[in-house]
Structure 1
């Protein structure tokens, strides 16, 4: 597989604290890679390392096959755009003038592509409006536009939807999907809003205490989700007795509500419950989601 970014045994120390601990990562070309972890897990430290804002204590990573220990990594990073923590924008300048500033920093003399870039992020109609008068979502999109100056093939985003209202979240989601699907940009996005991340990501990496706990594709993750049936009855003890007799795995959620972790033959179940004069009140098919998976995954790891 062709990887844009690979990290092996990456460690970052701050005094005696290991922000990253023998960390590994593999981001395929063309992916939207969701980096999942709680605050303090090491997400931002990782992003700062790969953007060249800090150096690793030990270990290595490669960007487009170029080792971070080689001088050529500087050229490889030119193929990467990033928004770490908050967008670096000038509030007293328009979107166009902010982009012109970035063009000058990168030594790009022609501003001909600015209108296209503004259209790409949905800011083509902002005119001379200053960034201080933008909504938070507009500022985030301007930050991404600045990161896209120079046509990078890899985009790194740290919590891009944090603090956005529902409309801003939808606009950001559509923007990232468009950048990935229409322009072929590989995206690494760190986020703790797991429901939204599940609508975007093609691959996931779960980080905890500076360690990569698990990497998995979205398709494999969906296939691994545990399916269940939630059943509410008039007599929970009767339902438990029937499930025990048939060997079904289950969990009691409330006195008359039980979660069954297997396919249930409703006809047979209701017939068996009739013997106990127990009625079925409701049946709901349920499926594990990203948040459940993450909690079970991290909760199952021993932290020493």
Structure 2
């Protein structure tokens, strides 16, 4: 599901070439591989909390972990909680966890990583999000196929209101307006929810008839409407004015994706300085900076960061980690 890539570290510069594979597209570099050794906190397993603070949450070796925001490559606290995807906000977390060897579940967590609700879900864990207030939780799984490349995949995206318990098991239940007109098609798929501040309106990706759209959804009205084509895995900025997303090159996912930012007022798109194909739902560390996962050719993940305005250059943030989430 995630593009394979390698990158030089510590200023080593090397040429990169586009490499198309059967499952995804990415860049293969000839440079040295970054050091992905995980610096563990002294004393073995450390307490990980989801309480707001200057820390970053991530997954290390399939377990929920955290680091200080001031030293993200430094000593890491690693919990005993196993997750394939994790995200947290305002003291609430969501973990897409293995239930058995062949099944998975959505686990809602309190600030101390204690489960408060569990929900079995079909398919392979793919995306997870929590609204800024901590009230709303969303998830996406692959229920057919294992990649966004091509037309043979199918996803299931749900939303849970942790206050009322109201659950949307699939956004496919919602009414659709495409280009201002009512629309129905059995091939509709959704993935990558991101919530606005009111916990009712959300954005997501909708795929249908060979195209991918950014949609704006209304939970109360149980409806979505298209906003723009070729926007995948949206992530709303803290101020609600921009969306970070992966933009398929030439609108063809088989060619890879460019991490970009959409201004919702002007619909202007700014490509970030990250030219490696990013198959992830980026997280906003603050109003200026994005974090995202890239996988090396051997499958090991690293978390990288880049400026949202297109300036600067990508930099390694957390070696040997994935699924980043700011806790501040």
CA radius of gyration, larger in = 1
TM range (shorter): under 0.3
Q: Could you say which structure has the greater relative contact order, defined with CA pairs below 8 angstroms and 6 or more residues apart?
A: 1
TM (normalized to structure 1)? 0.27
Structure with more of its chain in strand, by fraction: 2
TM (normalized to structure 2)? 0.25
Structure with more of its chain in helix, by fraction: 1
